[in-house]
Structure 1
Amino acid sequence: MKKIIMLLVAFVSTMLISCAQQKAKKKVVVETKKPNIIYILADDMGIGDIGVYGQTKIHTPNLDKLAARGMKFTQHYSGSAVCAPSRSTLMTGQHTGHTPIRGNRQLVENQEGQVPLPKNSVTIAEILKEEGYVTGMFGKWGLGFGEGDPNNQGFDEFYGYNDQKLAHRYYPPYLNHNQKIDSLEGNDWTHKVTYSPDKIRDHRLQFLEDNKDKPFFAYVPLVLPHAEIISPNDSIFKMYDGKFKETPFTADNKYTSDYGPNIVPHEYAPCDKPLATYASMITRIDAYVGEVIDKIEELGLTENTIIMFASDNGPSPEGGTNPDFFDSNSKFRGYKRDLYEGGIRAPFIAVWPNKIAAGSVTDHVSTFWDVLPTITQITDTENPDTIDGISFLPTLLNKDSQETHAHLYWEFNIKGGRKAVRKGNWKAVWYKVNAKADKQGTLELYDLSNDVSETNNVASLHPEIASELKALMTSESVASELFPFK
């Protein structure tokens, strides 16, 4: 009997210890702080504009250090070849055959604001806000007012440009702060006093400071280096002043209008030293990234903060820029608005201390619409049913469970329509899709395994593959009344 009692006591003790251990485990899970997420997006920055991707004329020490602390992607793609649809794919996790915004289009001609992201869209910010994150967006939105406004798409705080045409100017009279107008001191379309990116910088750093004790998502779509090509005459500009042989970009150029009483706000300012100015804009991006890193370290948040950096499309040859001089598109063909690699191949760097291996490099093929499912997997939340993306978290964590895309698809509705598909190492590009029969373009096919610059069209040599990819261009596209091919 005594032995039975002793066995019962031992059994109860074991059960109590086990329950205590289970409670402790559960307590650890509950108390584990959700990682902060910062996603920084450059505007019209080429993959070749960053030192770690091969740039030699422009200094990007902070971005280079960021890559050294985390993972550099060599086969990452933007969502589109221009601003608004690229941002739409990022926010919704849908490619441009499905995402609501597929081009740069004003809602009403000659009025502020682009076609809005529909109210029923599910964005990264909405998902994270529901998960308890504080959400902030600082920079250029470009996805519309009203139902498309950042505050109506999941962001607790918004400071910057809603209208992307206003973002053609770096010295505007005002910026948007949530639903209010914030007048910028000294700026009146004639005088250039307050440099808007610095004002935006102040607000994003304050957001990090204010929310240091809460999980936060900071979306930082920078305006730089999108034209106009302009920079304060400060120490960053002086790094490059006189370094290059310059050809001034004057008011006589198309789509150019100087500050003053006759300014056309959505056009670009002339620039006496466009090479030095562009270089300074890239280095200024780098400085802003460095300030975010420093603030996170100052607040003691480094270990629990994920930082991602990308660009929304390839480099632009507008407003006095010279992407060929800087090799901004690296070895890739095409620029902004192109669906060749130079228009959509993007830099991507991700840092998460003690999770992502420092100095790692991956050739995993990924894209903007993969960011949403990656973040939902990080935060253990549900994906919307409509997404096209695949989480690349296994790649970030060096796990063997990484899924891959069967194919990637892009479309762009300008000049008769443009489409592109990548499947494995095969890349198909088709321009003037919807032009009249006698002017319609033909499908081009490239083997990226040995022709990453897309110089050798092999469609005639591989008709079955060309036909397969052309069929995908049809099946992946759901027609849009707002963005028809024209």
Structure 2
Amino acid sequence: MRKILKGVLVVLIIFLVNLLNAQEKQKPNIIHIIADDVGYDDLSCFGSKDIHTPNLDLLAEQGMKLTQFYAPHGTCTPSRASALTGRYAPRVNNGKGLYVLFPHSKHGLEDELEVSITELLKEQGYTTGLYGKWHLGHLPQYLPCVHGFDEYLGIPYPNDHGPERIGNSGWRPNGISDPQIPLIEQAQVIKRCDNNDIAELPALFTREACKFIYRAVQEEKPFYLQYANIETHTPYFVPKGFEGTSKAGAYGDAVQYLDRSVGIILNTLKRLNIEDNTIIVFSSDNGPLVHKDEELENCYGKFGFTDPDREHLLREGKYQERYDGGIKVSCIAKWPGKIPAASTCNELVTSMDLFTTFAHLAGAEIPTDRVIDGKDIQPLLTGEDGAKSQHKAVYGFTAHGKLMSVRYKNWKLILPGKHWTGQIDNPVLYNVSNDPGEKADVSADHKDVVKEILDLAEKAKHAIDNNKSLE
């Protein structure tokens, strides 16, 4: 009897050891929720008073708020390209850059020139899916499934690039209206959407994203999901029955509907019992609209309205890399048992860092045949003692390589030059630790700091122009 019990015990021990080893080797599921044009303080957990986001607040309570998180660019296309490739926008497409794409654009993210995070993850056995907005090229050779996504259902550019925009902005050929927004599955246009259709797409994308998670679990494969919402980009359409739910107009309704979708995804993970092996990162592609746009209002009425008097913590908004309102965004990360609950990270981080971090989490090797600007932020996310940002500075480059600003420690330097936000003749310095709104120029009192950052700026411009590392 003792021999039998001893044998059973040995078998049980071996089973438990193998089980633990299998769990250790299990690759984490990865979800990146990319909000579209959501401001830094437009979540209640980041200080909003007129927009209520209980699901994102819960995500922050169960995870970490990253308070110094920078998008690489102030507009959608170059920012998303940088996040997908881990490279500053001017490096993309072998240094050609990639600016905002429109329905008449003939170019996009070049697969033969870039390596995406999804391609690296697929090599590690991941199934990959994107639901929502792509905006890296609408022609077949540029669509998500060319860049490592197994599944794609979404729109290839923003929801305000429809026929009501008749080309008076300068970005479109004059007198040529855009076609109806295409809904694309894989590489096939399955529908041309009018505005009523677009209002219902957010709910469709949420449902299909959850179905993707179910399929991955059934197939016992790790997954990468990019959920890229559309409703917080003009026009601020939400499904019928969800208008008027916020105190911040149609935009606030859209943010609250995004929060609802986040809650549905979180509940899906809970029902499938995969929360503990799933890392979720929420961030925005760039800052919000903060100026009135008559064309948008003429096209969409209240759904294209921006209230210029609505207060924001940060200065300015999207379309620029000069002030923090365009590039500093809210970010939340959750991974039970790995990322400390109710924690905060105040170190410099960029969305390019997610490329390197996700790759390392999956066991993938970072490409060595190109400069990758993203850093592995696992030590920051896990709250490792003494963990610091690996970025000496974060740079506000335009898509074509002009350097507008440098964030260094608690300083933000605005470089001289002409810009639609104004002409600046001399460098302007802000201490953003006590002046996040970039209101008080302190350059006269810190000339040594200005010189130090100008030196960094020159080295950074040289590095970008010559395809060298910034560090």
SS of 1:289 mapped into structure 2 = helix
Q: Aligned residue for 1:119? A: 112
Q: Aligned residue for 2:395? A: 409
Identity percentage of aligned residues: 30
Mapped partners of 2:418, 2:198: distance in 1:
46
Mark the CA change 1:173 to 1:90 in structure 2 (over 3 Å): closer, same or farther.
Answer: closer
Mapped partners of 1:146, 1:403: distance in 2:
41
Counterpart AA for 1:181: V
Deviations, residues 197-231 of structure 1 (Å, cap 9, x unaligned): 22222221211111112100001121131111333
- Trace 1:40-55 onto structure 2 (pairs within 5 A): 40-55=33-48
Deviates more, 1:453-462 or 1:39-48: 453-462
Mapped partners of 2:268, 2:15: distance in 1:
36
Q: Aligned residue for 1:432? A: 417
Q: Aligned residue for 1:444? A: 428
Mapped partners of 1:96, 1:445: distance in 2:
24
Mapped partners of 1:21, 1:321: distance in 2:
64
For residue 237 of structure 1, the aligned residue among 232, 236, 243 is 243
Q: Higher Cα Rg: structure 1 or 2?
A: 1
Counterpart AA for 2:21: V
Deviation at 1:406, TM superposition (A): 1.1
Counterpart AA for 1:39: H
Q: Aligned residue for 1:333? A: 315
Verify the 8 A CA contact 1:166 1:172 in the aligned structure 2: no
Q: Aligned residue for 1:174? A: 182
Counterpart AA for 1:475: K
Verify the 8 A CA contact 1:134 1:217 in the aligned structure 2: yes
Q: Return 5+ residue gaps in structure 2 as ranges.
A: 1-11, 165-178, 297-303, 467-471
Mapped partners of 1:387, 1:476: distance in 2:
14
Q: Aligned residue for 2:4? A: none
Mark the CA change 1:119 to 1:164 in structure 2 (over 3 Å): closer, same or farther.
Answer: farther
Mapped partners of 2:372, 2:359: distance in 1:
12
Verify the 8 A CA contact 1:303 1:354 in the aligned structure 2: yes
Deviation at 1:430, TM superposition (A): 2.2
Q: Aligned residue for 1:345? A: 328
Counterpart AA for 1:410: G
Counterpart AA for 1:333: R
For residue 450 of structure 2, the aligned residue among 449, 452, 466 is 466
Deviation at 1:353, TM superposition (A): 1.0
Deviation at 1:164, TM superposition (A): 3.6
SS of 1:217 mapped into structure 2 = strand
Matched, 1:365 2:358: no
Verify the 8 A CA contact 1:160 1:176 in the aligned structure 2: yes
Q: Aligned residue for 2:213? A: 208
Q: Aligned residue for 1:104? A: 99
Mapped partners of 2:163, 2:28: distance in 1:
35
TM-score, L = length of structure 1 = 0.78
Deviation at 1:69, TM superposition (A): 0.8
Counterpart AA for 1:178: Q
- Trace 1:15-54 onto structure 2 (pairs within 5 A): 28-30=20-22, 32-54=25-47
Counterpart AA for 2:319: R
Deviates more, 1:120-129 or 1:398-407: 398-407
Mapped partners of 1:396, 1:219: distance in 2:
20
Mark the CA change 1:231 to 1:87 in structure 2 (over 3 Å): closer, same or farther.
Answer: same
Mapped partners of 2:257, 2:327: distance in 1:
23
SS of 2:226 mapped into structure 1 = strand
Q: Aligned residue for 2:253? A: 280
Mapped partners of 1:103, 1:334: distance in 2:
23
Mapped partners of 1:388, 1:475: distance in 2:
15
TM-score, L = length of structure 2 = 0.80
Q: Aligned residue for 1:218? A: 225
SS of 2:280 mapped into structure 1 = strand
For residue 387 of structure 1, the aligned residue among 364, 369, 372 is 372
Q: Aligned residue for 1:152? A: 146
SS of 1:353 mapped into structure 2 = coil
Q: Aligned residue for 2:170? A: none
Mapped partners of 2:338, 2:367: distance in 1:
26
Residues matched between the structures, number: 419
Mapped partners of 1:84, 1:408: distance in 2:
19
Mark the CA change 1:216 to 1:188 in structure 2 (over 3 Å): closer, same or farther.
Answer: same
SS of 1:427 mapped into structure 2 = strand
Q: Aligned residue for 1:227? A: 234
SS of 1:283 mapped into structure 2 = helix
Q: Return 5+ residue gaps in structure 1 as ranges.
A: 1-19, 244-274, 481-486
- Trace 1:229-308 onto structure 2 (pairs within 5 A): 229-234=236-241, 236-240=242-246, 275-308=248-281
Deviation at 1:232, TM superposition (A): 3.5
Deviations, residues 228-280 of structure 1 (Å, cap 9, x unaligned): 1333440x21424xx6xxxxxxxxxxxxxxxxxxxxxxxxxxxxxxx421111
Mapped partners of 1:110, 1:142: distance in 2:
10
Deviates more, 1:466-475 or 1:54-63: 466-475
Mapped partners of 2:202, 2:376: distance in 1:
31
Counterpart AA for 1:454: E
Mark the CA change 1:413 to 1:443 in structure 2 (over 3 Å): closer, same or farther.
Answer: farther
Deviates more, 1:164-173 or 1:394-403: 164-173
